[in-house]
Amino acid sequence: MGSRSNPLSVRDLHEIEVEKLRGVGPKRKDALQKMDLITLGDLLTHYPRRYLDRTRQAAIADLMEGDEATIVVKVVRTDLRRLRGNRVMVTSTVTDGQSRMTLTFFNQRWRERQLQPGLEAIVFGKMENFRGRPQMTSPVVDLVGDQTGKIIPVYPQSEKAGVTSADLARYIAEALRRTVTNDDARSIIDPIPSCVLSDRAMLDRSTAMHRIHVPETHEHVSEARRRLIFDELFRMQVALVRRKRHLESTQRGVAHQAQGPLVRAFVGALPFPLTNAQRHAIGEIDRDLERPVPMHRLLQGDVGSGKTLVAVSAMLTAVDGGHQGALMAPTEVLAEQHHLGIRRLLEGLEVPEPSSLLGTRPLAVELLTSRTSAADRKRILAGLAGGLTDIVIGTHALLQEKVQFHSLGSIVIDEQHRFGVEQRAALREKNADGTVPDVLVMTATPIPRTAAMTVYGDLDVSVLGELPPGRTPIVTHHVDAPGTLDGEPPLQLEQMWAELRASVAEGRQAYVVCPLIDESEKLEVASAEETYQRLAARELEGLRVGLMHGRIPPDDKDAVMDRFRLGELDVLVSTTVIEVGVDVPNATTMVILDADRFGIAQLHQLRGRVGRGAHASMCWLVASPTTADGQSRIDALVGSTDGFELAEVDLDLRGEGTILGERQKGKNDLKLASLRHNREVVVDARNAAIELLDDDPELSAHPALADELVFFASDNDEAFLLKG
């Protein structure tokens, strides 16, 4: 590989294997492969995780206990000690030339080999004081070797593969030398239109690539990062906006008539006025529904914000025009609960039926899940195909091929985060005449707006940012109770049960959510039954206690829920099946056992079962968190009832991969950009993408960008992008 005259594309960079680089060779190649660094492209986008400024190093003697610092040290000696229970401790005495300190590692036997006397390393950690001597426990150790320069990149490295930050810096410098010439830095193709770059005063890609790895100043680093972050987000947005437009131009939808007689009758019969937020969202949805292009809209609203009514309005609009509506929930229990609630909301509504005596018949709302009996299933399938079923509520059983609709006008998908994109696509193929139903996706787990824009880039977004009036805020307590409920209850627990009983004495009701057992539903049910029995015999003795879990037959489930709703039960002991959809305003106490085992979103959902009426509500989180994350989740819930705020914390704790889900895995991963920290850039990139695609929808004037999109697209996207 000599010096290149033709600029290289991202695709080219991913076709050159690292083995071709001087100094790599077959053995190192294997090590790099373990780190997923296979091509020059991988190597060049293996960005430094931080930088070390040689001119700003800390000295051990200047540091106070609790300070976080980066120190360049030399190893003096390293010892391994065996502890009880087959554990080991490695301690290493290091010096910065002036003073010494100790590094301590537990159960990292290999540190003994790594930290040989004489080795130079950079350690990053928190200064502690151990018996009067400075110490760091489990610091980050980087072996940067004898790199020159004032600012040294520190790379994510792999101890296991034996690849140090210094090795990586060497290989990357070599890769840059081969691809980006320093003086004429133009040998990586820049796919971003030059006006987009100049409007934002951004570096070209080659320069940015060079500077992020070999900066001379801190400004170099920040300029390069700014450009490369924009690269990632712009690419993503162009792909998303393009897909959205593609769908819009190729799909034929139903142009509904909004605010028809059924919708007006339904809204008119509600015992309360719609909130402004609901009115606004329904307005946005109505405008979509009236267009001949299928709607793809996301409805975001915190727990209890009243999304159900908005969903029902969208389904009824379809029925008003002689079409059908469907609601798809992620679990059977949720489908059952939605069915109960929606059937009640729609009671008494009539639809035209020319063949009947009075010219009308009752609006038909059916439930279709895998638990539906064979006879019912047959009847419902016939009703859907013949048009006698107006609204169907179900799970992904609705997606089965056998389910054919007379004319599916709108679909509501609840809790999109548990649904795959393909499932959404499958539902769109239900109409024989080729029309595509309007799709409304509801999420009760609020996703920060920019993240939503990215994840659901092909969806428009409506937000219910206001709760119905008359709610009283929920007060949340953390009860630290070691173990589960075994043994003598600690004082706090006793107090909790006493308060629960006091509120029941005042006529209120309560939920107790049993520990989550991920491994198996069977174990979870067993534990719920055990908890139920114990509570009924002890803490809740004398109260009317019911039990609810996923394995209870549907009819019994309805019976239990009805009794609770009617106030015939004081306390409902339950697994997480009550997470969404249960709506009993008189229930004001929520107890969640082993709360640290639940995720933030789930806790927020569960807590949202109370605080639905005018009475003050309480949520008790019983937990002795064993991890820092567990503690943070509890703290977050105690500190906030705002779903958007909690979603942000969640994003922080879990990282963004979980939010991006399946779709963004693989090559398309964001390496530098963060949806949380680079919100303005997400918005900016989206606007730039829209502007570009307005001018050049097919990207015919931007072949390099088009090629890069195809290269980065997931298999799913690829078909469309190649086609488009």
Q: Measured between alpha carbons, how far is residue 319 from residues 120, 261, 262, 336, 363 in Å?
A: 74, 10, 8, 21, 9
Q: Helix (H, G, I), strand (E, B), or coil: what is residue 473?
A: coil
How far, in Å, are 204, 579, 601, 609 from residue 635 at the CA level? 44, 20, 13, 19
Smallest gap from residue 414 Cβ to ligand ADP (A): 8
CB of 405 to ligand ADP, least distance (A): 25
| Minimum gap (Å) between residue 442 Cβ and ligand ADP | 7
The smaller minimum CB distance to Mg ion, of residues 308 and 476, is found at: 308
Q: Which long-range contacts (CB under 8 A, 24 or more apart) does 598-603 make?
A: 598/516, 598/633, 599/633, 599/650, 599/654, 600/633, 600/636, 600/637, 600/646, 600/647, 600/649, 600/650, 600/653, 601/445, 601/646, 601/647, 601/650, 602/516, 602/576, 603/633, 603/637
Cα distances (angstroms) measured from residue 49 to each of 45, 46, 212, 347: 11, 9, 10, 59
C-alpha angle 686/687/690, rounded to 5°?
Answer: 85
Q: Which of residues 289-308 bind Mg ion (CB under 5 A)?
A: 308
Mark residues 252-291: x for contact with Mg ion by CB under 5 A, - for none.
----------------------------------------
Q: Given the complex with ligand ADP, which of 296 and 338 has the nearer CB atom?
A: 338
Q: Which is nearer to Mg ion, 21 or 328 (CB)?
A: 328
Least distance between ligand ADP and beta carbon 605 (Å): 8
Rounded least distance, CB 446 to ligand ADP, Å: 10
When CB distances are held under 5 to 8 angstroms depending on the partner's kind, the choice from ligand ADP, Mg ion, none that residue 301 binds is ligand ADP
Residue 114 site contact among Mg ion, ligand ADP, none (CB < 5 to 8 Å, cut-off depends on kind):
none
Residue 305 touches which of ligand ADP, Mg ion, none (Cβ within 5-8 Å per kind): ligand ADP
- What single DSSP character describes residue 275? P
| Residue 468 binds which of Mg ion, ligand ADP, none (CB < 5-8 A, kind-dependent) | ligand ADP
SS3 137: strand
Nearer to ligand ADP, 444 or 618 (CB): 444
Residue with smaller CB distance to ligand ADP, 301 or 724? 301
Strands 324-328 vs 391-394: parallel, antiparallel or unpaired? parallel
Cα dist from 660 to 89, 421, 598, 654, 666, whole Å: 38, 12, 20, 11, 11
274 binds, among Mg ion, ligand ADP, none (CB under 5 to 8 A by kind): ligand ADP
Closer by beta carbon to ligand ADP, 278 or else 324: 278
Query: What is the closest distance, in whole angstroms, from the C-beta atom of residue 527 to Mg ion in the complex?
Result: 27
What's the min distance (Å) between Cβ of 311 and ligand ADP?
Answer: 8
* Partner that binds at residue 278, options Mg ion, ligand ADP, none, CB closer than 5 to 8 Å by kind: ligand ADP
Distance between CA atoms of residues 294 and 624, nearest Å: 49
Beta carbon nearer to Mg ion, 13 or 442: 442
Binds 446: which of Mg ion, ligand ADP, none (CB < 5-8 Å by kind): none
Amino acid identity, position 7: P
Residues contacting residue 665 through CB under 8 Å, at least 6 positions apart: 657, 714
Q: Which of residues 303-332 bind Mg ion (CB under 5 A)?
A: 308
What's the min distance (Å) between Cβ of 635 and ligand ADP?
24
Q: Which is nearer to Mg ion, 207 or 337 (CB)?
A: 337
Element (DSSP H or E) covering residue 493 = helix 491-505
Q: What are phi and psi of 283, to 5 degrees?
A: -60, -45
Q: Which is nearer to Mg ion, 178 or 565 (CB)?
A: 565
Q: Which one of ligand ADP, Mg ion, none interacts with residue 583, CB within 5 to 8 A by kind? A: ligand ADP
- Could you tell me the smallest distance in angstroms from the CB atom of residue 41 to ligand ADP? 44
What's the min distance (Å) between Cβ of 357 and Mg ion? 37
How far apart are alpha carbons 144 and 48 in whole angstroms? 12
Q: How far is the CB of 279 from ligand ADP (least distance, A)?
A: 9
Q: Smaller CB distance to ligand ADP: residue 493 or 582? A: 582
Helix axes 679-695, 218-250, angle to 10 degrees: 50
d(C-alpha 208, C-alpha 271), whole Å: 60
The tokens describing 60, both together, are 């051990």
Q: How many CB atoms lie within 10 A of CB 52?
A: 21
Give the interface with ligand ADP as residue ranges (CB under 6 A): 272, 274-275, 278, 301, 303-309, 444, 468, 583, 612
The two beta strands, 100-106 and 128-130, are unpaired
Binding at 41: pick from Mg ion, ligand ADP, none (beta carbon under 5-8 Å per type)? none
What are the structure tokens assigned to 583, written together? 């709506």
**Closest CB to Mg ion among residues 302, 684:** 302
78 or 308: whose CB is closer to Mg ion? 308
Instruction: Give the C-alpha separation, 654 to 324, whole Å.
Output: 39
141 binds, among Mg ion, ligand ADP, none (CB under 5 to 8 A by kind): none
What, of Mg ion, ligand ADP, none, does residue 428 touch, CB below 5 to 8 Å by kind? Answer: none
Pick one of ligand ADP, Mg ion, none as the site partner of residue 304 (Cβ within 5 to 8 A by kind): ligand ADP
Q: Apex CA 236: angle with CA 232 and CA 242, to 5°?
A: 145
Q: How far is the CB of 362 from ligand ADP (least distance, A)?
A: 22
Cβ(384)–Cβ(391) under 8 Å? no
Number of residues engaging Mg ion in binding (CB under 5 A): 1
User: Residue 39's closest CA among 672, 607, 584, 667?
Assistant: 667
Tokens read off for 471:
């709610």
Instruction: Name the residue nearer to ligand ADP (CB basis): 166 or 463.
Output: 463
Q: Find the shortest distance in angstroms from Cβ 382 to ligand ADP.
A: 31
Residues at the site binding Mg ion, with contacts judged by CB under 5 A? 308
